[in-house]
Amino acid sequence: MDLAFTPEELAFRDEVRAFLEASLPAATRRKVLEGHEVSREETRQWQRILFERGWGGPNWPREFGGTGWDPVRQSIFEEESAAAGAPRLLPFGLKMVGPVIMRFGNAAQQKRFLPRILSGEDWWAQGYSEPGSGSDLASLKTRAERKGDRYLVNGQKTWITLAQHADWIFCLVRTDPAAKQQAGISFLLVDMRTPGVTVRPIMLLDGSHEVNEVWFEDVEVPAENLVGEENRGWTYAKFLLGHERTNIAGVGASKRELARLKRIASQERKNGRPLLEDPAFAVALAQVEIDLMALEITNLRVISAEAERRAPGPEASLLKIKGTEIQQAISDLMMHAVGPYALPFRREQAEGAGPDYAAPLAATYLNLRKTSIYGGSNEIQKNIIAQTLLGL
């Protein structure tokens, strides 16, 4: 693989940088670069700005309103956006349900849902995990019974990220309880404003409200919101999970956080010298940086396969494992760098207790413990690799 950018790609990078400099709101940029949370409206505002520029779907083909960028340009855009402090684009619409609707949805669904994802009008949530059905997703119990031209949905989903903001949720539901686990599942799109849908917050250790329980009690969903064929949802779920695991790699964000780690380590001191010059810390930092470089190359290979209309395969599991390990390692080194200033695990407790850059570190560290679990735990990903790549 030739890792040198062509003149055209360098010109594109300059175009992206100029756009980010001119269009990214300063307050939002500052929040991201300093590790603070971005609000719902700031996230939507950035999606609208990109949409107006024609860049609302960086990973989408032109036929569905996307940019049609090749894998290299997608990677350049992601890396430059992260480095500049742009908010993370919501993956649930752009990188999960969007590609599923493009591949398996009908023309009416594509016309109805895709433009509103691009414009930021619809915020999507992912309704997969249930109590007792996380890594063993095929054991899910939420039922959808066909009643004429509608489905009647009953059940519970849990750990649903940002469901409190969502307009729609895509769900895996059991439509044939007599079939084998994977064979009786369907993929359903549910309007969150439908009577019978209840969102209950799950408060995290750092005091934040990021995840939720979502309950369905006799929720009526039009049959036209079924994606693809009934009882074929497991096929669509596997397609989506490949995209999710590719997205979890987070190369651009990790490169930005690595740069922030270096800035922090240059300001913190040990034995009168910058921590960045401490041999033990420098070795750990170098190892993370080497791992991140290798992850970036692997990510480009997977994106290239995706551009050829091949769904991400078991190699996406490699990205998920290593990407989340790197995110956790960087946050661990940040905690190490600031020492006792990292003790308060709630952001409000940490403010004013030390350097400004230390305030969000403990909350971020705790939050990132989840990354090796969601999207299929890393242990499950290792099993997938062993079975499909190594034949074990």
Q: Quote the tokens at residue 99.
A: 């590609």
Per-residue confidence (pLDDT) for residue 317, from 0 to 100 = 83
> Distance between CA 216 and CA 141 in Å, rounded?
12
Q: Is 244 a catalytic residue?
A: yes
Q: Between 3.40.50.300, 3.40.50.10420, 1.10.10.10, 2.40.110.10, what CATH number should domain 124-231 receive? A: 2.40.110.10
- CATH topology assigned to domain 7-89: Butyryl-Coa Dehydrogenase, subunit A; domain 1 (1.10.540)
Say which of 79, 210, 244, 306 is annotated catalytic: 244
Per-residue confidence (pLDDT) for residue 350, from 0 to 100 = 58
> Distance between CA 285 and CA 374 in Å, rounded?
26
**pTM, two decimal places:** 0.87
User: Which regions of 148-305 does DSSP assign to beta strands (E)?
Assistant: 150-157, 168-174, 185-191, 197-203, 209-222, 226-227, 269-270, 273-274
Q: What's phi and psi for 344, nearest 5 deg?
A: -65, 120
The CATH number of domain 249-388 is 2.40.10.10: no
pLDDT in tens, 193-247: 999 999 999 998 878 899 999 999 999 999 999 999 999 999 999 888 766 666 6
CA angle 378, 242, 211 (to 5 degrees): 65
Per-residue confidence (pLDDT) for residue 349, from 0 to 100 = 60
Q: Above 90 in pLDDT, residue 65?
A: yes
pLDDT in tens, 352-369: 667 888 888 888 898 899
Q: Structural domain boundaries of the chain?
A: 7-89, 124-231, 249-388
